[in-house]
Amino acid sequence: MTDFLGSLPEGWAETRLDRIATVNARIGWKALTASEYQPDGYAFLATPNIKNPEIDFTNVNYISEFRYNESPELKLQVGDVLLAKDGNTLGIVNIVRHLPRAATVNGSIAVLRSHGMEPRFLRYAIQSSFIQGHINSVKDGMGVPHLFQRDIKRFPLPAPPVEEQRRIADFLDAEVGRIDHLVTKKRRLIELLNERIDSRVLGHVGASTLVDMNGTPTTPIHRILDKVVRPPKAGEDTITAYRDGQVTARSTRRAEGYTLSASAEPQGQHVEVGDVVVHGLDGFAGAIGTSEASGNCSPVYHVCVPRGNGDARFLGRLLRLLALQGYLGNFATSTRERAVDFRNWDLFGRIPIPITPSAEQREIGDWISKISPLRRVIERSAVLAAERRQALITAAVTGQFDVSAASGRNLTEGVST
């Protein structure tokens, strides 16, 4: 372990995870199925619930008391460290700082319960570069990456004196908290801009005859948008409509947040920048927007261009909001794979939507156009912050600097990322 952890400060020891904590995870599902989820009950955490700085106990599934009591070793306690051991989120780690309600975890999360190390220090040690690198070296699985419990138990760990563990954890709580808060504030700016845009778009919906009998008139979608079918172009990227409303090349984004079509011809038509793109099955969940890139997409999409002086940016946002409000779904005649089926353009094109003056469309469209470049700047900043965060954690838990003397200086100076 010495070579792996490097040179540790005098007085620090080396240990292994199973020597300072128990490791428990759900073996299989014990025949638990999604049909058993309840409107309320015992919180059943999944990996999305532990991805953010604070564990999300609100947007969870709930299970019965019987299922909760079935695995007593997984009944969460304050101080438990939660490690994602399966899938794309493998390696994400968090700590239970408080328990607003009784909770347990699903099969993708391992519960590490410390009996010989400050739990917060343990959490940061697993977040460090050396353990994350170790995880990448021992993970298994050809399709879905996976960590076996035997490998988790063998994680090599630095073990400073307990009081030093607490000082390091206190220091990192403060410094990492500042970094996370800054990133959250920047991302909140994007949310506020989108909320302002959405409010203005929905204002036109509320002022129309869709809501007010004496409101502004409506017209069918096919009189506002023309559906186009262009042949695909060889060698171009795959265009995907994500549920957050962004339509772009799949290579530029994560592999989640969209529905794969079951089409036998996955690259069936060409998309140009500025096209309004509607997923024929997943549009109800927000997979509608204006394309930011050119490429090829599946035939399951409707690719459209505005008629006359219509603004594609505005119209893409309008349709997405109408989908999320449940309005478009009222016109569907069937569902498929839990999705509202709008693959039939004749059906979709007849849905009435508000008529909005072209000048108003362009003004709102200009607002929308400012979001993407600002988001790119903020996300680049978030990546840099994450690198500094990782370097700071790694340096602190391996004793590269004395945390008691670290305040008030550039904390990442001289620390490799």
pLDDT at position 417 is 42
Mean of pLDDT values over 336-355? 84
pLDDT at position 29 is 59
Q: Is the pLDDT of residue 350 over 80?
A: yes
- CA separation for the pair 17, 169 (Å, rounded): 17
User: HSE of 143 in the Cβ direction (CA atoms, 13 Å)?
Assistant: 0
- CA separation for the pair 8, 87 (Å, rounded): 32
Amino acid letter for position 222 = H
> Who contacts 237 (Cβ-Cβ below 8 Å, separation ≥6)?
249, 250, 251, 293, 295, 296
Quick one: DSSP state of residue 231?
P
Q: Residue 93: beta bridge partners? A: 83
3-state secondary structure of 38: strand
If one compares 84 and 417, the residue with the highest pLDDT of the two is 84
Domain 2-160 identical in fold to domain 218-354: yes
- How is the chain split into domains, by residue range? 2-160, 162-193+358-417, 218-354
- CA separation for the pair 177, 205 (Å, rounded): 41
- CA separation for the pair 367, 189 (Å, rounded): 14
| pLDDT band (50, 70, 90) for residue 405 | confident
2-160 — its CATH code?
3.90.220.20
- CA separation for the pair 117, 11 (Å, rounded): 15
The secondary structure of 154-178 as a DSSP string is T-EEEE--HHHHHHHHHHHHHHHHH
Q: Is the pLDDT of residue 1 over 50?
A: no
Fold of 218-354: Adenine-n6-DNA-methyltransferase TaqI; Chain A, domain 2 (3.90.220)
pLDDT in tens, 384-401: 999 999 999 999 999 998
- pTM, 2 dp: 0.77
- CA separation for the pair 277, 246 (Å, rounded): 10
Tell me if 4 sits within 8 A of 156, measured CB to CB: yes
pLDDT above 70 covers a percentage of the chain that reads 89
Q: Is the pLDDT of residue 276 over 90?
A: yes
pLDDT in tens, 329-342: 888 766 555 557 88
pLDDT at position 416 is 42
Tell me if 127 sits within 8 A of 390, measured CB to CB: yes
Q: Is the pLDDT of residue 415 over 50?
A: no
Residue-averaged pLDDT of the chain: 89
φ, ψ (nearest 5 deg) of residue 229: -130, 100
Write the burial class of residue 210 (CB in 10 Å: 0-12 exposed, 13-18 middle, 19+ buried). Answer: middle
| pLDDT band (50, 70, 90) for residue 26 | confident
Q: Which of 168-172, 235-239, 317-321 has the lowest mean pLDDT?
A: 235-239
Q: Residue 53: beta bridge partners? A: none
Q: Which of 193-197, 221-225, 399-403, 409-413 has the lowest mean pLDDT?
A: 409-413
Mean of pLDDT values over 249-273? 68
Mean of pLDDT values over 127-148? 85
φ, ψ (nearest 5 deg) of residue 384: -60, -40
Helices (H) and strands (E) in the chain, counts: 10, 21
> Who contacts 259 (Cβ-Cβ below 8 Å, separation ≥6)?
279, 281, 282, 285, 287, 337, 339
pLDDT above 90 covers a percentage of the chain that reads 76
Q: Residue 138: beta bridge partners? A: none
Please calculate the CA angle 146-259-317 and round it to the nearest 5 degrees. 130
pLDDT at position 142 is 60
pLDDT at position 264 is 40
